[in-house]
Structure 1
Amino acid sequence: MGQLLRLGKFLLGFILRHPITAVSVIARQTDGTIVLVQRQDNHQWSLPGGVIDWGETVEAAARRELREETGLEWQKLDRLVGIYSQMNRDPRAHSICIALAIQVTGTVAIADPQEIRDIRAYPPEQIPLGDLAHDHRQQLEDYFSGRLILN
């Protein structure tokens, strides 16, 4: 029993001391607008995205999160924008976020109203940069500058 308890503590400590891996999607529609979702928890605007599930690839997670949060479908990958790993990038936990810029198709629809409050497509110059969750302002600025970021 003592060995099992020690093993359990070790595994729990191992899991909790490692960052969560997530993906965010800079979803560009054919008219050039960028799709943002408004979160229910803090009412801030956010890039679609979320945690990569066990056994899931980055692309599969991005496709799933995009569909779940916006109803839109992945059409084409534009580029990798960056990998963001600063300890304070997400106030809930230490997470590593892989930001992708993609072209999307379809009609927006809130699939989970407990998570998503609203969805809007913004022309780049009208994105509410001062009211974005996490480090999504930085991700968008890096996208618009054309930089590839590793931080």
Structure 2
Amino acid sequence: MHCPSCGTQIQTFKNPTPTVDIIIETVGGIVLIERKNPPHGWALPGGFVDYGEAFEDAARREAAEETGLAVTLILQFHTYSNPERDARQHTASTVFIATADSPPVAADDAKNAGVFHQDNLPPLVFDHDRILRDYFAFKKTGKRPLL
């Protein structure tokens, strides 16, 4: 890559892409969405952080876009960064726990939205099964995932 101003060759870096996922607690359980786009399947609401956007704002925006819910963020839970967590590219997801008072409505790139609990989870895409295992363990023990 070359500098557009002076033409000097500049070093470029390939870095993980920041994302957010939101565990939304609501009446009856947690909110999941069924994705319209590949990879298809059920997932936590979430997505890419826009340039210039705070991660907290991205979490609130993605929750609203995909579920129609105005959420209250209560905790930054953990960051998941395994290079293989998303087959499309290396992402690093900061996961938030949030609350909402209404039922979800699928919107944006969500085909369906629903409320689930630990005993009726559908098969999940990405590493969202691991995230939810960690979340349910945290709810029982108060301990967050170790690094």
Q: So what's the TM-score if we normalise by structure 1? A: 0.83
- Pairing 1:122–2:116 present: yes
Equivalent residue for 1:57?
A: 54
Deviation at 1:97, TM superposition (A): 0.6
RMSD, matched Cα: 2.0
Equivalent residue for 1:47?
A: 44
Equivalent residue for 1:19?
A: 16
Unaligned 5+ runs, structure 2: none
Q: Determine if contact 1:23/1:58 at 8 Å carries over to the other structure.
A: yes
Equivalent residue for 2:144?
A: 148
Unaligned 5+ runs, structure 1: none
Runs of at least 4 residues of structure 1 off by over 4 A?
Answer: none
Deviation at 1:55, TM superposition (A): 1.3
- Secondary structure in 2 matching 1:92: coil
Q: How does 1:1-151 map to 2 (within 5 A)?
A: 4=7, 6-7=9-10, 10=11, 13-14=12-13, 17-29=14-26, 31-40=27-36, 41-77=38-74, 79-112=75-108, 115-128=109-122, 131-146=123-138, 147-149=143-145, 151=147
Higher share in helix: 1
Deviation at 1:42, TM superposition (A): 3.2
Output the CA distance in 1 between the equivalents of 2:63 and 2:41. Answer: 17
Deviation at 1:149, TM superposition (A): 2.7
**Letter of the aligned partner of 1:54 in structure 2?**
Y
Deviation at 1:38, TM superposition (A): 0.6
Number of paired residues? 139
Output the CA distance in 1 between the equivalents of 2:136 and 2:51. Answer: 31
After superposition, the C-alpha distances for 1:45-85 in whole angstroms (9 at most, x for unaligned) are 000001111111111000000000000111341x3321111
Q: So what's the TM-score if we normalise by structure 2? A: 0.85
Output the CA distance in 1 between the equivalents of 2:110 and 2:73. Answer: 24
After superposition, the Cα gap between the structure-2 partners of 1:150 and 1:92, relative to the gap in structure 1 and judged at 3 Å, is farther
**Letter of the aligned partner of 1:133 in structure 2?**
V
Output the CA distance in 1 between the equivalents of 2:118 and 2:7. Answer: 54
After superposition, the Cα gap between the structure-2 partners of 1:64 and 1:102, relative to the gap in structure 1 and judged at 3 Å, is same
Deviation at 1:33, TM superposition (A): 1.1
- Secondary structure in 2 matching 1:67: helix
